[in-house]
Structures are given as C-alpha cells and as structure tokens.
Amino acid sequence: MSYIEYVTAEPESENPLEDLARTNHFTMADLEQNRQGRISDSQWFHLLVRALQPVRYTGGALLGWLLCCFVVKTFVPWIVLEIITMLGAKGIGVLFGAVTLACVGAFLLSVIKSSHTMALLLVDLKAGKSACLEGRVSPSSEDERGLGMARLYGENQTNYWYVAKNEYFAVDQEAHAALPHGRLFRLYHTPKSKLLLSIEPK
C-alpha cells in the first residue's frame, strides 16, 4: 500500500510590492516619480549611500585595525613588547605590517571602485531621470573572498543582485529574499550608474 505525502507551503503573496518597497527602501511616492521617468528627491540619499558602500565596508575595517594598533601602542607597556620580542615573537611586527597593508590596499581598491560609480551617479542625479526595464527579474548571488582582515582570515562575503536582461543591480540579502521567482516586473534604475530605484510587479 502506497501513501502520498502532501506538503503544504506558505502561499506566495499575490502582490509583493509592499515587501519589495520595504526591503529596497522606496515609497509609493518614489515609485510614482520613477514611473514618470524621474528620480525622486528622497532617493538621492539612499543612492549616495549605496554608491559608497564598498568604502564604508573597507574603511570601517581599516579604522578598526588602526584603532587596535593605537590601543596596543598606547596601553601595552613597552617592556611587555620587549619581552615578547625576546621570547622569539619577532614575526609579530611583520604580521602587524601585513595586516595593515592588506587593509590599506582593500580600502584604496574600494575608493577606486566607488569613485567610478559615484562619477556616473552624479551624472544621473544632475539629469534627474530614471530608466525602466520590463521583463523577468531573477535574484542572483555569489560568494567572493572578503577584503582586508576578512581576506586574511579566509572569510567570504556574499554579493546579491537582481538580474534583468543581463543587467545586474546590487541589493542586500533581505531585498534578495523578498523577490518572488518567475514573475514579471518593472525595474526602475539610474541610467548610467545602474543603481536600483524601485521595482513593481508588471
């Protein structure tokens, strides 16, 4: 005798617009402006923050490491450091130098990357116009090696995107999870810097 097991899944929302707006940080007023081909005034701040995201990540790591070095140099007595050196831990200076170089290098790379995006974003903001893609939008993610101290510890970081017609739009993990699979959307974005403004079911 055979048995058929029925698994009930939580039904997908008929209209996911509310979740998409919350996780992608836009309002219905922003969406209406985007529909009319404009970038809303309230979206400027979020766009600037998003363009500077790589600098915020690596800059925070660099500042944290420099603060650690400052604390060690200021509050650890020099005699303790001398004793550590005498005990054969001469490589600790090399380690500190390597970590510092890794953090500085990651920070400089993120500045270069952000400056390109920022330059394109400034052009978009000056024009004040939004672009629209219509069609199937799919969530995508990829793991890559971390930057700065994370790379030294072998940690990975995950990048998330919405993909529409071979265009990739960076989002965070929550926004990535909020996108339903296999549905058609209108995706509004900045024309040159390719930053997401808003998205709605078609």
Residue-range domain boundaries for the chain: 17-201
Q: Convert the pLDDT of each residue in 170-191 to its tens digit.
A: 999 999 999 998 789 999 999 9
pLDDT over 70 (residue 12): no
What tens digit of pLDDT does each residue of 24-80 get? 999 999 999 999 999 999 999 999 988 887 777 777 778 877 887 777 677 766 665
- Tell me: pLDDT of 82 over 70: no
Distance of CA 62 to the CA centre of its chain: 17
Contact of 27 with 188, CB cutoff 8 Å? no
Question: For residue range 89-138, what is the model confidence (pLDDT) as tens digits?
Answer: 555 666 677 777 878 887 788 788 888 889 999 999 999 999 999 999 99
**Using an 8 Å Cβ cutoff, are 19 and 183 in contact?**
no
Q: Pairing relation of β-strands 184-189 and 167-171?
A: unpaired
Whether 4 has a pLDDT exceeding 50, the answer reads no
Which residue shows structure tokens 């790589």?
54
Please check the confidence at residue 195 and state whether its pLDDT lies above 90.
yes
Neighbours of 160 (CB within 10 A): 19
